[in-house]
A and B are shown apart, each in its own frame.
Chain A
Amino acid sequence: MRYSALSLLLNGLTGNRNWAPAWREPEPKSHYDVVIVGGGGHGLATAYYLAKVFGVRNVAVLEKGYLGSGNIGRNTTIIRSNYLLPGNNPFYELSMKLWEGLEQDFNFNAMVSQRGVLNLYHSDAQQDAYTRRGNAMRLHGVDAELLDREAVRAKLPFLDFDNARFPIQGGLLQRRGGTVRHDAVAWGYARGADSHGVDVIQHCEVTGIRREGGRAVGVETTRGFIGCNKLALAAAGHSSQVAAMAGLKLPLESHVLQAFVSEGLKPFIDCVVTFGAGHFYVSQSDKGGLVFGGDIDGYNSYAQRGNLATVEHVAEAGKAMIPALSRVRVLRSWGGVMDMSMDGSPIIDRVHLDNLYLNSGWCYGGFKATPASGYCFAHLIARDEPHETAREMRLDRFARGYLIDEKGQGAQPNLH
């Protein structure tokens, strides 16, 4: 069923009794051309583009929980393409372009809102660094504007411009950045993939990978063995466990990242704004809640819950940027398990078995990458060659010394 104003009207007039489910709940078949492990945003997007763009329709997506239960439903919904390095920038810009056409493409309201992403700077050195990044973005054809202090003040007058330790000098603005309703991304891609014949199989955990003669022939699951011609792994924070089933050790650590939402407030912040002197970023949802987050907790964790010390740290950073936050009550907080790579950049590559493909290492930047990650991974799986924007995201770049170290931190996943 195609969603439209007319379908809404007609279904409304008939008491909303005739809506079809957005996707089927199929029993797994015994064999597929492609099996994708992980029904998060990236796995579903991969299946969608495989079926829609690359014509590979005999595809299954295996999800151990329910759709939207992992990081696709736990992030802070921000999209942007304000990257410095040539290995990253064209990829994230491809993602931004796909976001811009996504709702028409998959016929689902994902509430894509290009409200702008503003990164504040607090020193001359930081201004230089942001100027360099903005110039790199513009050289790649991405929009970027450097705002001075008064331009930022006109936009967000309630910031603490005269903070004694970190006065705000200005900001780097990407107007095309913004937010997207994250659950709707999972649902839209699932519905789109399903409508092109993909089997989206929930509550089906992969427990082993069967190998024969240098190839992956299928996966053992809690719902039986499922054979495949090609096996694609998109398991995010649990990538290390799934890859270990194929005898592969990854340059990843899994860390917990927390996010928060406040009580609903009247319209207050009309863009995404990030603190340049600490790790804090905030936007306001359409319901009025402030959606914000900070840094990872700093220790390996699979617990999907964080520590109070980080909650305090995030609150302090937020209050240093917006003093008015001291009166805001937090409604709830949660955590997600991030696949932190050793250089802070992702991996989209074919790995040591002939027909095994890996998509991981998204650190805490996976959400904004969802469309391009799916598109480029589907390109790699269907054609056995990398998409031009993702060709530097190789697994062997660590051994070869070609890191994509956007943050310049080296092999320290808890600092990326």
Chain B
Amino acid sequence: MASRVPCPHCGLRPKEEFTIKGAALPRPAPDAGEAAWIEYVYLRENPRGAYDEFWHHTSGCRRWLVVSRNTLTHDVYGARDVALGGETQP
């Protein structure tokens, strides 16, 4: 894992400041049906390569981010605020 994450609010910060939640998946509508919810809760593409993941900047701005990175090389491509957008690259 690259050791620094480009937080759109705080700049390049050490990854130890963050809490990792997991795959950044779109949440289904409440009435989307059982199959959609089972897929959302349990099933994962689990890619070997590019991957979008929810990270919380726990020891910084406390904003939820989507961090884009590579699960094989550990390169970090960029990060954006979940609600505000604003992609930043390292």
Contacts and interface: CB of A to CB of B under 8 A. Distances in A.
Contacts of B43: 249-251
Interface stretch (A183-191, A294-302, A378-386): A294-302
B58 interface: no
Interface residues of A, number: 26
Contact of B44 (A252, A307, A309): A252
Interface in B39-76: 39, 41-46, 48, 51, 53, 71-74
A253 B46 contact: yes
A323 to B, nearest CB: 24
A249 B71 contact: no
Contacts of A302: 48, 71-72
Interface in A225-269: 238, 240-241, 249-254
Contacts of B20: 298-299, 414
B4 to A, nearest CB: 12
Contacts of A309: 15-16
B1 interface: yes
The listed residue with most A CB atoms (<10 A of its CB), out of B15, B38, B71, is: B71
Contacts of A315: none
Contact of B42 (A238, A303, A411): A411
B30 interface: no
Contacts of A252: 44, 46
A220 B23 CA distance: 30
B22 interface: yes
Interface residues of B, number: 22
A238 B72 CA distance: 12
Contacts of A250: 43-44, 46
B38 A300 contact: no
Nearest to B46: A240
Nearest to A413: B22
Contact of B1 (A238, A307, A342, A414): A307
A222 interface: no
A304 to B, nearest CB: 10
Contact of A249 (B1, B3, B16, B44): B44
The listed residue with most A CB atoms (<10 A of its CB), out of B22, B39, B41, B73, is: B22
A300 B71 contact: yes
A11 to B, nearest CB: 44
B1 A297 contact: yes
B71 A251 contact: no
Given A299-B1, A302-B71, A251 B42 contact: yes
B24 to A, nearest CB: 11
B46 A398 contact: no
Contacts of A164: none
A232 to B, nearest CB: 20
Nearest to B49: A302
A312 B15 CA distance: 14
Contacts of B42: 251, 342, 398-399, 411
Q: Ordered nearest first, which 3 A-B pairs have the shortest CB separation?
A: A240-B46, A251-B42, A398-B42
Given A254-B48, A300-B71, 11 more contacts: A240-B48, A251-B42, A253-B46, A254-B71, A299-B20, A301-B71, A303-B73, A307-B1, A411-B41, A413-B44, A414-B20
30 contacts: A240-B44, A240-B45, A240-B48, A241-B48, A249-B39, A250-B46, A251-B42, A252-B46, A253-B44, A253-B46, A298-B20, A299-B1, A300-B46, A300-B53, A300-B71, A301-B74, A302-B71, A302-B72, A303-B71, A303-B72, A307-B1, A308-B3, A342-B42, A398-B42, A399-B42, A411-B41, A413-B22, A413-B44, A414-B20, A414-B22
